[in-house]
Amino acid sequence: MAPSSEGPLSDLTVLDLTRALAGPHAGMMLGDMGARVIKIESPTGDDTRGWGPPFVGEDDERESTYFMAANRNKESLVLDLKSDEDREVLARLVERADVLMENFRVGVLDRLGFPVSRLHELNPGLIVLSITGFGHDGPEATRAGYDQIAQGEGGLMSITGTGQPTKVGVPIADLIAGMNGAFGVLAALHERSRTGRGRVVRTSLLAGMIGVHAFQGTRWTVAGEVPGLAGDHHPSIAPYGMFSTKSAPVQIACGSEGLWRALCGALGWDPAEDGFATNAERVAHRDALITRIESLFAAEPAEHWLALLSEAGVPSGKVRSMDDVYSWDQVLSQGLLLSVEHSTQGELKLPGSPIRFDDNPFSGGRSEHVAPPTLGQHNESIREWLES
């Protein structure tokens, strides 16, 4: 794969030593924006190459769809960092890179011979992104970081679900840590443009979980109220949630008194009725309000109510399955389904970047995206580049 010549980050080279999801997601975000991302893998490859099913391909060409979710727009170079020869290759890469990303346990990179002090001796302008599970210092710094553990330890599961704490359906702690990491890298690169010096950017799965508590966090830190399971309805706004109909559930978001009045107008209700006249009253009587809405909605299918709500200007929507999402014309219009050519699997469809620029109809900073690499696919070309 030739380095990208387009995109806002096309002049950057990123060394991605991360595995699993948080770091690889950060690297993919930078690659989507045009950076050259060299994924450095052990001889056995990123752990996620073995995570499945589902897999695609046969036998020695079998590939994990999990790996494909976080590794487009990258090159793969296999290095055994226990080998003196391969550590020398890494040192030469560091000299030519702008960013190095790692998510080893605290102290591992030092033991491999690459403490931050040496990295900055090799390249004073290098930005180092370090992603850990619980932070690089503090009493629990050495704990391994896994998404579901972080969702629980960081409080997110305590406000998710009904009946008992529930994890989010994607590895949200990993994904948010990756996004935070990419954001921190860009801030450090901007600073480097003024100072010429690199720095270390640190984030963790735990920090990501705390960072998205939003109003649920201040319910405790400011109001002294411990939030409980939120289920399918907003704890501070009503009606705002999912409601059953004759066929399928619909979602309604009455985020203002004006929208409440619009909903009441569509349903033939009095918006000033005792017990429901203000948002605070509706929150206090949420169960009764849900029962009232669902009793009415049981008479007609979801499509009827969605059409009625749309005409009234009340925000509403379906709960779509994944196959429905990726065939939805709105998703396709935003460039959120990418077509790439894989070296062994042929044409693949991948979810696209969430960022889009005004001069590009596709998501991300490229007009053409590149498929996730096979293990060691770019060994030869990268080594040739180092010799050039």
The residues that are catalytic are 174
DSSP one-letter string for 138-161? STTTTS---HHHHHHHTTGGGGSS
CB environment 181-192: b (16+ within 10 A), e (fewer): bbebbbebbeeb
Q: 102 has which bridge partners?
A: 130
Tokens of 362: 């596709």
Q: Which long-range contacts (CB under 8 A, 24 or more apart) does 79-87 make?
A: 79/40, 79/41, 79/42, 80/42, 80/43, 81/42, 81/112, 82/112, 87/112, 87/113, 87/114
- CA torsion angle 193 29 151 108 (round to 10): -60
Please tell me whether residue 87 adopts helix, strand or coil conformation.
helix
Tokens of 2: 């030739």
Bridging pattern class, strands 63-64 and 240-243: unpaired
